[in-house]
């Protein structure tokens, strides 16, 4: 399979869909990661796109993290380059002004879990697959944002347990912990995901981008700094087409038609 075939990209209206397609587990290496990063950057640069959906063509795996065979045969320098490439994928997600949604219906482990934690929203299917960060079982720890992002999403106590044991959890437990935003029945999963992202793509793109920016930037700020930052961001939206359309639609008791 060529490198280009390992990441499949298509666009449906205001949604860009990036599908991981490297059988059997979407285990990654440097070239695969660079392809994912570029696909995210390209979709982020498309003015017509509001939402980027990242999914897998496999029903068994979303992503099992680094390809251990390649990782174990690499030099230390080559593995360092792979880690940088993995960092760039998450950086592309976080820096994008689009809302990044991941759709998970199979095993998501190690670097794969780090990848979806960098997304803004995580939609998952019910099932028997595993979610976890097993790096400690290899004598390592997460190196692509897995530690701080897991703490932010599920709390320090639960994160500590998963990180130091390397044990995996079920989709239901991941949802209960707050790691997944939605958990759908497997038979309805694809339709539910499509409905979710299509509804999101009808939203006010500039406002969603401002909200994403605020959620990321407010961490570490004092309450006063956070309030001032929020006020600065909302001030940039008052004179936009979407704000005027939103108010007008409310007055006219109709659904808004955002750009």
Task: Report the CATH number at residue 79.
Answer: 3.90.226.10
Closest C-alpha among 30, 46, 130 to residue 89: 30
CB 96 within 8 A of CB 76: no
pLDDT digits (tens, 9 = 90+) for 143-178: 999 999 999 999 999 999 999 999 999 999 999 999
Same domain, residue pair 47 and 79:
yes
Same domain, residue pair 24 and 118:
yes
* Assigned token pair, 15: 């949604």
Same domain, residue pair 119 and 247:
no
Question: First and final CA of the chain: distance in angstroms?
Answer: 38
Among 200, 219, 242, the domain boundary falls at 200
pLDDT, mean over the chain? 95
Same domain, residue pair 182 and 133:
yes
Same domain, residue pair 190 and 211:
no
Domain range for residue 226?
Answer: 205-251
pLDDT attached to residue 71: 85
pLDDT digits (tens, 9 = 90+) for 81-99: 999 999 999 999 999 999 9
Catalytic residue among 4, 34, 77, 114: 114
Same domain, residue pair 15 and 105:
yes
Structural domain contains residue 151: yes
Among 162, 181, 200, the domain boundary falls at 200
What percent of the chain is modeled with pLDDT above 90?
81
pLDDT digits (tens, 9 = 90+) for 107-133: 999 999 999 999 999 999 999 999 999
> 114 catalytic, yes or no?
yes
Catalytic residue among 4, 135, 217, 225: 135
Structural domain contains residue 257: no
Same domain, residue pair 8 and 119:
yes
Closest C-alpha among 126, 120, 117, 258 to residue 192: 126
Structural domain contains residue 258: no
Residue 1: pLDDT above 80? no
pLDDT digits (tens, 9 = 90+) for 218-247: 888 888 988 898 888 888 988 899 989 888
Same domain, residue pair 142 and 226:
no
């Amino acid at each position: 399979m060529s490198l280009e075939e390992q990441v499949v990209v298509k666009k449906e209206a205001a949604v860009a869909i990036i599908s991981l397609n490297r059988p059997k587990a979407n285990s990654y290496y440097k070239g695969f990661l660079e392809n994912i990063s570029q696909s995210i950057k390209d979709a982020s640069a498309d003015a017509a796109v509001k939402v980027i959906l990242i999914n897998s063509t496999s029903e068994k795996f979303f992503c099992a993290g680094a390809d251990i065979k390649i990782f174990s045969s690499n030099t230390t320098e080559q593995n360092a380059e792979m880690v940088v490439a993995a960092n760039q994928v998450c950086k592309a997600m976080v820096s994008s002004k689009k809302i990044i949604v991941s759709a998970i219906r199979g095993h998501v482990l190690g670097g794969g879990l780090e990848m979806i934690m960098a997304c803004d929203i995580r939609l998952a299917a019910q099932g028997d697959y595993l979610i976890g960060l097993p790096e400690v079982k290899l004598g390592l720890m997460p190196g692509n944002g897995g530690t701080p992002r897991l703490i932010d999403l599920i709390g320090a106590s639960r994160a500590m347990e998963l990180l130091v044991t390397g044990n995996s959890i079920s989709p239901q437990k991941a949802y209960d912990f707050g790691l997944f935003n939605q958990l759908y029945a497997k038979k309805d999963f694809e339709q539910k995901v499509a409905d979710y992202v299509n509804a999101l793509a009808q939203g006010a793109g500039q406002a969603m981008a401002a909200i994403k920016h605020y959620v990321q930037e407010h961490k570490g700020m004092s309450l006063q700094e956070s309030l001032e930052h929020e006020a600065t961001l909302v001030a940039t939206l008052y004179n936009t087409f979407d704000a005027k359309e939103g108010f007008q639609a409310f007055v006219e008791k109709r659904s808004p038609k955002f750009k």
